[in-house]
Structure 1
Amino acid sequence: MLNGRDPRIDFFRGLALIFIFWDHVPHNPLGQITLRNIGFSDAAEVFVFLAGYASVLAYGKVLQREGYWMACLKILRRTWVLYVVHIFLLAMLMGIVFFANSHVETRDLVEEMGLTHFVTHPQQALTDELLLRFKPNLMDPLPLYIVLLAGLSVVLPLLVRKPWVVVAVSLTVYLLAPHLGWNLRAIADGVWYFNPVTWQLLFVLGGAAAIHGQQPRPLETRPLARQPLFVAAAIYTLVAGVLTISWRWPEVHDALMPSAISDLLYPISKTDLSPVRLLHFLALAYVTAKLLPGRAWTQNWLAQQTCRMGRYSLEVFCLGVLLAPLADMVNALAGDAFAIQIFTALVGAALMAALAAWLEFNKRLNQPAPAPTQHLNS
């Protein structure tokens, strides 16, 4: 039986949304502390994995309670909502970028954001937008989520009952896709930046983790230092962090990395979700789950704000996409002053948290009031 939502999932979804916003603002100092600077993977992996986890938890309960066809209908309805949101979000993003570009004279923000196709071929760009082929910078995660969620409507029953069968098929497709050139069409480079044929594995693994997490397991009594899998994951995470940090100093990196290993490791493809990226995320997730096994740490005030952002991830993600070019514009007008960059990064995160708080408050307002209790006199 699939149980209710886990606040830890909401927390890490909210944290990933903050990291995505900070990563999307060029030269943002706070972007230096996000995942992409301390390992091979970044917040995108967190977003997709937890999307799969949360989706299977939510629609798995619908499958158990109301049957497959109702679960399929609700998944497709949600997919349609995401598709409509994508269209409106892109329109709003273009308006903001054109506005910002008119105020920043030292850079071409339209070109940097990948909107040149709309300027040069507006009619074709509108068609490509409807077909999910026109995806400017910042927009890639949402079309990926749309495709992956639509695919969940097909595999959900088997994923709930035989998760390892689905994982095996998903892994096979993941391994074959880069060699056979499987991807979806897009403008610019001709393919999707986030290849859904490979990234589907992370989504499926998230769903399988949700199923596995509901199964009773014997309590591990050995200390973490004596658990081989934890030790291996921790070592890999640490090594990946050291190598990633060393990229800032090429001479240090060259001293640490033998050329034979470097030829095997690089390039680390984000488009096809390179195995070292996938392995790094899984190792990081495993280490984090082991170090934070309980839920008590999610009860402090700051964690609660982050959890709330995770509960309204779609709305908060969309706001972050719109805030990123505005923060970039303010930073550019201020000459990329360090204090202003910190200020816009923190204000953007605060506005995202405020939106989540408003949505939570609005949800409570719309809930029906409890019926008054009648007291009988004795």
Structure 2
Amino acid sequence: MLNGRDPRIDFFRGLALIFIFWDHVPHNPLANITVQNFGFSDAAEIFVFLAGYAAVLAYGKILQREGYLFACLKILRRVWTLYVAHIFLLALLMGIVIFANSHIETRDLVQEMGLGYFLSDTQQALMDELLLRFKPNLTDPLPLYIVLILSLPLTLPLLVYVPNVMVAISVAVYLLAPWQGWNLPASNGGVWYFNPITWQCLFILGGAAALRSPSRAEARPLLRQPLFVAAALYVLVTCVITLSWRWPEVHDAWMPRVIGEWLYPISKTDLSPVRLLHFLALAYVTAKLLPDVGWTQQWLALQLARMGRYSLEVFCLGVVLAPLADMLNAMAGDSLAIKLCTALAGAVLMGVLAAWLDLNKRLDQRYASRAVVATT
């Protein structure tokens, strides 16, 4: 049985979009407070997990009400929208990066953004772009999202009707993929930075979470709940390890060599198990510590939730704002004030876009309702 939409989902999607933007602006001081600095996972895990939650919540209801074929049509229409956004975003991003690069003398933004391939072999790069194989820096999450949504006609019926079976299959594929070297090909003989064959596991787990019936809060204090204590301890330990990376001498002094050899490297491409476990523990602890008791109706929470509802458009805006913010920061030198201003201004603009889209949607609904009344 599908639940109603949890307002916390949109809030954390909006927060993840801001974190992604801040993390993608080099030397941005606000990037030091994003989730990637305090554990093994980062905003990408938040985005993919909640994308799975939202997708199954939306298309699962269509599957139950209208049937499989209608649900597939809705999914394919969404995939087409995402694909067009991907093509448009790459064209816009290339223009902005080339413009920004002409204003920075000390760095080559074209190479840093992975656009050198496009300039050196434009014809092949255009073909790779259409096949989702050419993905400049900052744009990787969108092709991943396209593939995950495109997989829903296969995974959605299993998730809705036999969720345990689907989760078991997903986890098995996730464990086999790194061992067998499964990934999708990318341009220049590479592979996808976000391996969809492993990241699908997080997407599926998000969808499975949307199917869970709301459970009553345990009467016992949190510190007497073993699962919460274990998850919180894991989050705390990973936070300490991550913070120690800032001081390599300290990290090397206290980290046992055997554990270090087992732990590293922590692969983002294949969604290393310690990353996956960190995100699941963090999500569980956060859900326990922040139940929906009205805080989602506060002004700032509502703004972030609105951004989360228009995640595609807001994400695309964040991608094109990042090189512009980088350009302004580079032109201003080491000015901390400018770096803070560009980071905050970008977040505000993302919020303004979401407000504009929401206003247009409400106006369309109002005009549609008036037309129905007039017709009646």
TM-score interval, smaller chain: over 0.9
Shift of the alpha carbon at 1:71? 0.5
Q: Contact 1:7 / 1:295 at 8 angstroms: preserved in 2? A: no
Shift of the alpha carbon at 1:3? 3.8
Shift of the 168–120 alpha-carbon distance from structure 1 to 2, 3 Å rule, reads same
Shift of the alpha carbon at 1:272? 0.2
Cα deviation code 1:331-378 (max 9, x no counterpart) = 000013111100000000000000001111111111135569x9xxxx
Cα deviation code 1:106-148 (max 9, x no counterpart) = 1000000000000100000000000000000000000000000
Matched, 1:69 2:73: no
Matched, 1:140 2:165: no
1:328 aligned residue: 326
How far apart in 2 are the matches of 1:256 and 1:226? 30
How far apart in 1 are the matches of 2:250 and 2:214? 46
Cα deviation code 1:191-225 (max 9, x no counterpart) = 0000000000000000001101xx25354111100
Cα root mean square deviation, aligned = 1.4
Identity %: 74
Shift of the 332–371 alpha-carbon distance from structure 1 to 2, 3 Å rule, reads closer
Q: Which region of structure 1 is more displaced relative to structure 2, 75-84 or 216-225?
A: 216-225
Q: Contact 2:167 / 2:208 at 8 angstroms: preserved in 1? A: yes
1:204 aligned residue: 204
How far apart in 2 are the matches of 1:330 and 1:371? 46
* 3-state SS in 2 of match to 1:368: helix
2:257 aligned residue: 259
Shift of the alpha carbon at 1:161? 1.1
Q: Contact 2:13 / 2:311 at 8 angstroms: preserved in 1? A: yes
Amino acid at match of 1:221: A
Shift of the 219–350 alpha-carbon distance from structure 1 to 2, 3 Å rule, reads closer
How far apart in 1 are the matches of 2:254 and 2:6? 40
Ranges in structure 1 where 5+ consecutive residues have no aligned partner: none
Amino acid at match of 1:325: P
Could you tell me which of 286, 289, 305 is aligned with 1:288?
Answer: 286
Amino acid at match of 1:351: L
1:157 aligned residue: 157
Q: Which region of structure 1 is more displaced relative to structure 2, 251-260 or 145-154?
A: 251-260
User: Number of paired residues?
Assistant: 371
Normalised by the length of structure 1, the TM-score is 0.96
Ranges in structure 2 where 5+ consecutive residues have no aligned partner: none
1:47-86 maps to which residues of 2 (within 5 A)? Answer: 47-86=47-86
2:186 aligned residue: 186
1:269 aligned residue: 267
1:308 aligned residue: 306
How far apart in 1 are the matches of 2:216 and 2:226? 17
How far apart in 2 are the matches of 1:14 and 1:256? 37
2:19 aligned residue: 19
2:365 aligned residue: 367
1:113 aligned residue: 113
Shift of the alpha carbon at 1:310? 0.3
Could you tell me which of 219, 222, 240 is aligned with 1:221?
Answer: 219
Cα deviation code 1:50-79 (max 9, x no counterpart) = 000000000011011101110111011101
Amino acid at match of 2:363: L
* 3-state SS in 2 of match to 1:230: helix
How far apart in 2 are the matches of 1:245 and 1:352? 29
Amino acid at match of 2:76: L
Q: Contact 1:268 / 1:274 at 8 angstroms: preserved in 2? A: yes
Shift of the alpha carbon at 1:251? 1.4
Amino acid at match of 1:105: E
Q: Contact 1:8 / 1:295 at 8 angstroms: preserved in 2? A: no
* 3-state SS in 2 of match to 1:233: helix
Shift of the alpha carbon at 1:189? 6.2
* 3-state SS in 1 of match to 2:366: coil
1:92 aligned residue: 92
1:125 aligned residue: 125
Q: Contact 1:185 / 1:191 at 8 angstroms: preserved in 2? A: yes
Q: Contact 1:148 / 1:203 at 8 angstroms: preserved in 2? A: yes
How far apart in 1 are the matches of 2:28 and 2:307? 21
Shift of the 216–10 alpha-carbon distance from structure 1 to 2, 3 Å rule, reads closer
